[in-house]
Structure 1
C-alpha cells in the first residue's frame, strides 16, 4: 500500500494515461510511483488486473516493479489543476514503482540481462492469464543497468484476460484456451536462452500457491473497482482454473524451444 504525497505530472505514454506521484510506503520509504487512476479511459477493471498481477508477481518472484493500491488524499489532489480539471477523485488507485534510467528491450540488448530466466515466469504468467500485450506493445519490457548488471523488468498488466474491459462471458471462454505468443523478445528468449526446466519451475510455484489465497486476492480488490459479486466470483473461478493448468501451459511453451537439449525436461 502506497500513500501519495505529491503529484509530479504525466508519464506521457500509455492508453491509461499513467501519472507520476511521489509516494510513501507503509514502512515510511519514499518512492516515485507510476499511477493508473480510477478515471482512466479503460475503466476500473484495469486497476483490478494490475492488482491481481502484482499479487501473483510477489508470490512467483517475477520481475514486475513493486506495486499495489495507492491512496491519493484530497489535499494532494487539490494542489493539481490538471487532475482537478480531469475530474480525478481522491481515493484508491493503482501504483507501482517508477523505474528511472530504464530503456526498452530489443534484440541488441536482451543478451545483456542477467535475469533472463525470470522471463520464463513472466511468459508463463502471460499465457496463463491471456496477456498478449507484452510483445504487441514493445514498451512493456524494460532493461536497466543496476549494480549487479543489467536487469529485465516486465511492466503494464492492464490487458490481462485479453483486454481491460473483460466480462464474465469472456473469462469463461478463456478458461480452457491458450494462444501462444512467441513474437519479438519472446521468440528470441525461446530460441536462445530459456530452458524447459525453467518453465516447469514456475509452473510448480503456481501450483504451490495456497488456493485459499486466491479468495484473499479477490477480496483485496477495492469494492469501488469491482462492485458486482457475480464478477468477483467469476474472476476467482477463472484464476483458480487457470492456475491448475500451469503445467499444461509450461509444456506448450517448452515445445517451442528449438534446441532439444533445452526442452528435454518435458514430461
Structure 2
C-alpha cells in the first residue's frame, strides 16, 4: 500500500486514492464544512456535564471536566491564549499515531463544548474560550508523576517497560520537543508490584524552537520543511533507554512506524476537525512531513543511540 518513498506528497495521495478508489478531494477537502470528516474517528459523542476545576499547570489553560459518560477529562480549548488551536491539532494527530503503535497514551476524544456550557462557568468565560470542538484526554486515576528536581529512583518497576524504547522513536518521528518528566504519568499496579507508564502532552509535536529558545506549537508548511532534526537526549530519555535490552528494541518500533500505511495517516489528518482551521495545504504538508520523517527514522535513531 505504500508509494515509492521518493514520490511527492501529491503522487502518494494519488497512489492511495487509485488503490482505494477514493477521490483525493475526500481526504483534505470537505464540501460540507459543518461536518468535515471528524465523525470517521469519533463515532460516539459525549457532552460536558460539570466543570470541576482549572488545572494548576499548563500553558494551554487545561480544564478538568466531567462528561456524560461518567468520566473526567482534561480538556484543551482551541483558542487558548498561549499555545493556540494548533496545539490541539498536534495532540490529536500524535495521539492517533501513538494508538497505532500501541504506545501508552490515555484515552482521548474530540468533544463538542457548546456556548451555553462556557457561559455558565465563570472560569471558562474568563478565558474567553470559544465553543466547538476541543481535545479531551481522559484522567488517569490514581496516578503519580516523576520527581522533577530529583533523580528517578532506579528501583522503580515499570510493568510496560517493553514500550519504553518506542517512546523515544515516536518522539523522534513526530518531532516532540517537550518530553519532560512532568509529561509522564505513573499508574500504580498493585498486583504486578509496579507502575504502568503513560505519556501525555503532545502539544509541542511537529514544533520548533526559535533562535531565542522559545518553543512554538504553531507549525506551518514552511517550518515543517526543516524537520525532523535529531531530538536532544535528556535525563528522562536516558532513564527510558535503560529499559531497553539492546538497539533492536528501538528498531522494532522504527519498523512498526515504517509499516503504517500512508492511507491510514491520511485518514487521521483528514479527520482533524474543520473548526481547528487546518487548510488543505497544511494537511498535505503534515502528511509530507510524516512520510519524510518515517524515511529518515533509521538514521536518526542510530545517531541518537550512538550519542546518548
TM superposition score normalised by structure 2: 0.75
Equivalent residues, number: 248
Compared with structure 1, are the counterparts of its residues 82 and 250 closer, same or farther at alpha carbon in structure 2 (3 Å cutoff)?
same
- Give the match for residue 81 of structure 1: 122
CA RMSD of aligned residues (A): 1.9
Residue 100 of structure 2: SS of its match in structure 1?
helix
- Give the match for residue 98 of structure 1: 139
Structure having the higher Rg: 2
Compared with structure 1, are the counterparts of its residues 226 and 161 closer, same or farther at alpha carbon in structure 2 (3 Å cutoff)?
same
Q: Is 1:10 aligned to residue 54 of structure 2?
A: yes
Equivalent positions of 1:86-165 (< 5 A) are: 86-106=127-147, 107-108=152-153, 111-135=156-180, 138-147=181-190, 148=192, 149-162=194-207, 163-165=216-218
| 2:53 and 2:65 in contact (8 A); partners too | yes
CA distance in 1, matches of 2:123, 2:154: 37
| 1:226 and 1:232 in contact (8 A); partners too | no
Moved over 4 A (4+): none
Q: Is 1:38 aligned to residue 81 of structure 2?
A: no
Compared with structure 1, are the counterparts of its residues 124 and 31 closer, same or farther at alpha carbon in structure 2 (3 Å cutoff)?
same
Compared with structure 1, are the counterparts of its residues 247 and 30 closer, same or farther at alpha carbon in structure 2 (3 Å cutoff)?
farther
- Give the match for residue 210 of structure 1: 261
CA distance in 1, matches of 2:173, 2:183: 18
| 1:52 and 1:217 in contact (8 A); partners too | yes
| 1:128 and 1:249 in contact (8 A); partners too | no
Residue 132 of structure 1: SS of its match in structure 2?
coil
- Give the match for residue 67 of structure 1: 108
CA distance in 2, matches of 1:47, 1:145: 28
CA distance in 2, matches of 1:110, 1:52: 34
| 1:35 and 1:94 in contact (8 A); partners too | yes
Q: Is 1:187 aligned to residue 228 of structure 2?
A: no
- Give the match for residue 171 of structure 1: 224
Gaps of 5+ in 1: 258-267
Gaps of 5+ in 2: 1-41, 208-215
CA distance in 1, matches of 2:280, 2:131: 24
TM superposition score normalised by structure 1: 0.85
